[in-house]
Amino acid sequence: MTIPESAPTTEIAAPADTPRLTQSLGLFSSAAIVIGSMIGSGIFIVDADIARDTASPALYLAAWVITGVMTVIGALSYGELAAMMPKAGGQYVYLRESLGPLWGFLFGWTLFLVIQTGTIAAVCVAFGKFLGVFFPSVSATHWLWHIAHVPAWRVGPMVLGNMEIGVNTANLAGMVVVALLAVVNIFGLRLGAAIQNVFTSAKALSLAGLILLTFTVGVSAAAWQANFAHGQFWKNAGWHSLHAVQVGVGGPTAWVNLMVILAVVQVGTLFSADSWNNITYTASEVKNPRRNLPLSLVLGTGFVIAVYFLASLGYLLVLPMHGDPHGATAAARGIQYASEDRVATAVLGQIFHSAGAMLMAGAILISTFGCANGLSLAGARVYYAMSRDGLFFKSVGKLHPKYKTPVAGLLVQGAWTMLLCVSGSYSQLLDYIIFTELIFYILTIGCLFVLRVKRPDAERPYRALGYPVLPALYIVMAIWIGIVLLRYKPQYTWPGLVIVMLGIPVYLFWSRHGARQSPIGPSESISIQ
């Protein structure tokens, strides 16, 4: 089968009165989008699962180090592409210009169907659940309209279903946030950026406060003895130590070495550190993008990774890693079996007792709202770029005449996200995100090598630090994690591949019928001199 190319990438001028995206984001706002999109609810809960899988304080922290190395290398590599091609759509544009329009479309298709909208849905429903700490009537069990229960069924390595469809007060609160942010971001990038700046600053201060508490008044002698004294830190971290991994859902238990277990737990750590690339989607709205895009990527990812590592280290100072799932106290349950995996809540509860849950819930409300805003603001720019290439709905490629924002893109993204909230399927979609993201991260960093060969004389205001060693190291690490997940966590991998592949027939349709409906032709294309 021959995959047709979409319209050629020679820029077609738009009419003089056509609204254009305006450069409104400075360095602080750009870094705030990076930080705000990365910090959601993951750092507050994924540590429990990592602790159970690694069963070693050293490997528990090593998992975050690996994520940090990969994320910072990714940011350093994307910086070169962002400075070369500061256009709306970011990663979509890099793939389109380097590997061809099919690969750009498959990224945008997966972003819309799973990555961006599924993450927004999960973050907003998490907002609703933690709102219930202050308002008990807001709960996932308080149904306003229960449509159906979908039983579980197995399809190859996948276990689908087992979800409740309908509206409860928790997902209703989430849907209200989705709708609110979609509407707010219509009224200009400045307003969306201002909200992002405020909430990112607030969540950064909240995490700084959490870290400060764990390193001072929260330090526990019992936790120190359990996690660091008498060689406990290196327990189960030797090259010959074996770790239990359940293969798939309900599959056999495999015993694996530290290289494999560290790859397996990247599902949690990489997900918590994901979405750092969202600033590239808004590239054409960044002031002095050739400087501020690479700088915001490095500053934002560096800050978040440092905070994540310190927070996880702080958890070890307050709670023992190993615990009893039936323990009566937070200290007895440890990090491994924190109630509902809410490690940060257990830590603050250990320090402040009953007030800890309230403090943590407030911090997570701030964090999730800011994260959802950053994701909502950025994602619509990708669909806008796709539409202008004739590869998405025509209306999505038009801007509001006054506010210069992609109104239709924001509304379509919001509508699909709300549908995921009602369907309950977003949680299953999230399982597939990391593997599909790894595929596109590998391809995009590979674009560095492709463009260095295809367009050696192109202007590169910033060149990727450590090229070609660091980008190649990222690709090798990501491929290894992908291979391990294919082998031991098929429920996270094959469904994601299916979603990506389903985009091929959709691409064939859009490339044949969509290009002639494009609002002004394939503008936003790049002419690299």
In a domain, 491, yes or no: yes
Q: Is 353 left (phi over 0), alpha (psi -120 to 50) or beta?
A: left
Tell me the longest C-alpha to C-alpha distance in the chain. 72
For 319-353, where are the alpha helices, taking DSSP H only? Answer: 330-333, 343-352
Q: Distance (Å, rounded) from C-alpha 294 to C-alpha 286?
A: 11
* % of the chain residues with pLDDT over 70: 90
153: pLDDT strictly greater than 60: yes
In a domain, 478, yes or no: yes
pLDDT in tens, 385-413: 999 998 998 889 899 888 889 999 999 99
In a domain, 291, yes or no: yes
In a domain, 403, yes or no: yes
Give the mean pLDDT of 500-518.
78
- Rg, Å, the chain Cα set: 23
pTM: 0.89
Contact 71, 274 (CB under 8 A): no
Amino acid identity at 399: L
Contact 263, 485 (CB under 8 A): yes
In a domain, 326, yes or no: no
Give the mean pLDDT of 236-248.
88
Give the mean pLDDT of 220-227.
94
The pLDDT of residue 10 is: 35
Give the mean pLDDT of 32-49.
90
In a domain, 18, yes or no: no
Q: In this predicted model, which residue has the larger pLDDT, 163 or 28?
A: 28
Give the mean pLDDT of 524-528.
45
In a domain, 38, yes or no: yes
Any idea what DSSP says for residue 283? G
Structural domain boundaries enclosing 43: 27-311+372-517
pLDDT in tens, 51-106: 999 999 999 999 999 999 999 999 999 999 999 998 888 999 999 999 999 999 99
pLDDT in tens, 172-185: 999 999 999 999 99
The size of the chain, in residues, is 529
CA-wise closest residue to 338 among 320, 356, 317: 320
Q: Considering its fold, how many domains does the chain have in total?
A: 1
Q: Strand 253-256 vs strand 243-246: parallel, antiparallel, or unpaired?
A: antiparallel
The pLDDT of residue 497 is: 87
CATH number for the domain spanning 58: value is: 1.20.1740.10
